[in-house]
Amino acid sequence: MSYVFYLFNLLFFVILFGVFSQTILFLMSSCSPLTADRQANITSMLEQQADRVMALGEWEERWQQNKIGFHQPEVHKMLKKNIDKVLNGRTGVRFFFPLCGKAVDMKWLADMGHSVVGVEISEKAIRQFFEENNMTYTEEPVPAIPGAKVYKNSEKNISLYQCNLYNFSNSIEGHFGAIWDRASLVAVNPGDREKYAALIISLMANDCRYLLDTLLYNHDLYQGPPFFVPDEQVHSLFGSSCGIELLQSEDALVDKRNWGLDKFLENVHLITPKSN
């Protein structure tokens, strides 16, 4: 009796395994065209925004006219939530802020004992950062970058460079242990993303942990900036030399309905050199 029971169970599992295998193969085959369609759709969307260009003067004008809805008066919640993963047990980390504006995140990190280096085109934004945070600062030229200035507060170890981001390099301030990119990749001209990624990678120390905030929305309803950056392009830009982990995806449609959007997702990625 037990022998018959054993054969019956064996036959049952063989049949079940066969059905399961065929199901998996069917799902894999049915997903392939969808993946191809999605890739084609992403390519089409990227091509449509490739010719979107914001001149540096336009950004400076926005600051002069106080059209800075992208500025947040409080520390970004995504940074707060993921700060432990960025620090990874380290203290006294050197942070880089591309297109830093007057982000209060910089003081928050400096108050924790970290040093901060930022790059920003608007002199007004830099001065406002120090003045609104009641911090004294010095101002001096940057010999390696004609026309550039650096504003420093030595007490908090904050240095903000007023210059074109692409004129900045690791020969100026070396490499960084962390990068917080909250509104930079989504602000640069879409056609410059490869150049931008190359710069960011060149600034990363071997133990760098790069926190990248990207946005997803229907590009037919809003042209940007901020520009949408699909996850697939994040991997295309950084995946050859870095590991990429999606830490968080959150619906951020609140206060964006006046852009005519029906969906607005905010994704946060942790990017680290593969040498780690």
Query: How does DSSP classify residue 71?
Result: -
For 34-62, what is the mean pLDDT? 72
More confident residue, 14 or 97: 97
Structure-block tokens of residue 240: 């050859």
CA nearest 71: which of 113, 125, 117?
A: 125
pTM value is 0.83
pLDDT given at position 135: 97
Average pLDDT, the chain: 85
More confident residue, 28 or 211: 211
Sole residue written with tokens 């004992």: 113
Q: Of 39-53, 64-78, 122-136, where does mean pLDDT reach its minimum?
A: 39-53
pLDDT category at 151 given cuts 50, 70, 90 is: very high
Structure-block tokens of residue 237: 């830009």
Q: How far is it, in rounded angstroms, from Cα 94 to Cα 114?
A: 6
Task: Report which residue type is found at 248.
Answer: Q
pLDDT tens-place string over residues 241-260:
999 999 999 988 776 556 78
For 183-188, what is the mean pLDDT? 95
Q: Is the pLDDT of residue 92 over 50?
A: yes
pLDDT given at position 265: 92
